[in-house]
Amino acid sequence: SQTIHQWPATLVQPVGSPLSLECTVEGTSNPNLYWYRQAAGRGLQLLFYSVGIGQISSEVPQNLSASRPQDRQFILSSKKLLLSDSGFYLCAWSVMMNTEAFFGQGTRLTVV
Amino acid sequence: GNSVTQMEGPVTLSEEAFLTINCTYTATGYPSLFWYVQYPGEGLQLLLKATKADDKGSNKGFEATYRKETTSFHLEKGSVQVSDSAVYFCALSPYNNNDMRFGAGTRLTVKP
């Protein structure tokens, strides 16, 4: 069966520090991969999605970047965190277009 | 572009009350529609789905019918339980791209 792992679960980082969140999927090949951010009490904002290795689509200009160095690995990064980067970050995968997405457990990022 | 609008919360109900959470969407073609549930501090879990017009998705007593004529996918449950307390998200997955969109989420609290 397929599983998705996302870590760390919680993270407290100072303003200006770098960020690296990792997500891996097991049990499937060539998944579509997504990064979402959920601000406190708000809905999900799609940040990035990827349909293959090295292929990244960005939804909004921001202080973040994403990379997909391997088929089932998706990384969310920042060179310098801002206070506004605080939130709950969710990684997800899907088999193809027009199908459901499956989510990781999320990372609670607090920038102080 | 594609978008999802769902009723604002929070919604507070007594145990065994009837639940409706409204969801409408805007999309080209025939998207797939989903309801996800998020328990505190966790990622999103797929609750139910429908992939074409007039389909009814159901799970754990929850139901939603894909209504293309009204572009709606309202979530219903006949008798809610305290354990149903969570945030519920309506979502769509377009038929022709990977841009999965979510509503803002509706927080449901069920009191004994």
DSSP string, chain A: --EEEEE-SEEEE-TT--EEEEEEEES-SS-EEEEEEE-TTS-EEEEEEEEETTEEEESS--S-EEEEEETTEEEEEESS--GGG-EEEEEEEESSTTS--EE---EEEEE-
Are residues A106 and B99, on separate chains, in Cβ contact within 8 Å? Answer: no
A42 in contact with B, Cβ within 8 Å: yes
pLDDT above 90 as % of chain A? 76
**Residues in chain B, how many?**
112
Percent of chain B with pLDDT over 70: 100
- The reply to whether residue B102 touches residue A103, judged by beta carbons under 8 angstroms, is no
* Residues of chain B positioned with their CB less than 8 A from the CB of A94: 93, 98, 100
CB < 8 Å to B100, chain A: 34, 46, 49, 92, 94, 101
Q: What is the pLDDT of residue A41?
A: 66
B17 to chain A, any CB pair closer than 8 A? The answer is no
Q: A14 - beta bridge partners?
A: none
A49: contact with B, CB 8 A cutoff: yes
Q: Report d(CA B41, CA B17) in Å as an integer.
A: 26
Q: pLDDT of A40-70, one tens digit each?
A: 767 888 899 999 999 998 877 678 999 999 9
Is A36 within 8 Å of B43 when comparing Cβ atoms? no
B contacts of A99 (beta carbons < 8 Å): 32, 93
What is the model's pLDDT at position A62? 79
| The predicted structure's pLDDT at residue A43 | 80
- Tens of pLDDT, residue by residue over B60-109, are 999 999 999 999 999 999 999 999 999 999 999 988 877 788 999 999 99
Closest chain B C-alpha to A85 CA, distance in angstroms: 18
Report pLDDT digits (tens) over A30-39: 999 999 998 7
State CA A97 to chain mean position distance. Answer: 18
Interface test with A, best of B25, B37, B98 (most A CBs within 10 A): B98
